[in-house]
């Protein structure tokens, strides 16, 4: 079961990817984790990626895909995997498809967590974080016992810069331009399945399980 997770930033795809991986005993693979593992391990591709990152440049697709292919060839990926955060663009998706075809393989499901922009802005804008202990809250869905104060350590909660409405809107603009076309790409490949991501977390998960087990 080879799965690609799709959805705008804040749609909850990362959370659902982890739940799917746990349920089916397959690895949850994020590009961030792959980058960190390769850099820490001092691999050739990791050092190439680090050189670009140190200069503040984007890591070229061929380096990222090289690391990804090395990862999915590992033994724990024998029964499948969940890709979270890759591909982000059509060229990346095409490169991934071509590389998998060479291995006699393909993506089985592209799962799109559908959430309207306004709901994402509201969802992310309600997040609060503790700068001291790292605990996270949401003013609507998981509020602290005392408004603005961390339950765990008593520090004053903050809004992360990533969660400010203007930043969220910028990230959504990038998503619509670069990543949303993947929905059409995977629909054309016949593997796209969408779910309503505005539901409760567990309801969204059950909808995804129904798709995977249909």
Question: What value, to the nearest 5°, has the Cα angle with vertex 105 and ends 104 and 107?
Answer: 160
Higher pLDDT, residue 154 or 10? 154
- Catalytic residue ranges: 13, 88, 127, 160, 171
What's the pLDDT score for residue 87? 94
Express each pLDDT in 143-197 by its tens digit.
999 999 999 999 999 999 888 989 999 999 999 998 899 999 999 999 999 999 9
Q: E strands within 55-163?
A: 81-84, 109-114, 127-129, 136-138
What's the pLDDT score for residue 99? 92
DSSP string, 123-143: HHHTEEE-TTT--EEETTTB-
Q: Which of 181, 21, 23 is nearest to 33 (CA)?
A: 21
Express each pLDDT in 67-104 by its tens digit.
999 999 999 999 999 999 899 999 999 999 999 999 99
Neighbour count for residue 136 (Cβ, 10 Å): 12
Express each pLDDT in 131-141 by its tens digit.
999 999 999 88
Mean pLDDT computed over every residue of the chain: 94
Q: What is the pTM of this model?
A: 0.86
What's the pLDDT score for residue 58? 86
**Which tokens sit at 5?**
């997770």
Residue 160 phi, psi (nearest 5):
-65, 150
Residue 31 has pLDDT above 90, yes or no: no
Q: Which domains does the chain have, with CATH numbers?
A: 2-26+79-115+165-212 (3.40.50.300)
């Amino acid at each position: 079961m080879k799965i690609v997770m799709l959805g705008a930033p804040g749609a909850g795809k990362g959370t659902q990817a982890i739940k799917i991986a746990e349920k089916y005993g397959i690895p949850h693979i994020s590009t961030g984790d792959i980058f960190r593992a390769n850099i820490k391990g001092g691999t050739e591709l990791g050092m190439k990626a680090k050189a670009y990152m140190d200069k503040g440049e984007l890591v070229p697709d061929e380096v990222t895909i090289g690391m990804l292919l090395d990862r999915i060839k590992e033994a724990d990926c024998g029964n499948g995997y969940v890709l979270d955060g890759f591909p982000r663009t059509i060229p990346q998706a095409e490169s991934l498809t071509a590389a998998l075809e060479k291995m006699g393989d393909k993506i089985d499901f592209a799962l799109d967590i559908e959430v309207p922009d306004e709901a994402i802005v509201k969802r992310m804008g309600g997040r609060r974080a503790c700068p001291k202990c790292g605990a996270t809250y949401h003013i609507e869905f998981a509020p602290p016992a005392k408004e603005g104060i961390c339950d765990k350590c008593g520090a004053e909660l903050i809004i992360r810069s990533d969660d400010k409405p203007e930043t969220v809107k910028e990230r959504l603009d990038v998503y619509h331009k670069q990543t949303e076309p993947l929905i059409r790409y995977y629909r054309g490949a016949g593997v796209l399945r969408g779910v309503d991501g505005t539901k409760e977390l567990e309801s969204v998960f059950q909808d995804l399980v129904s798709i995977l087990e249909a």
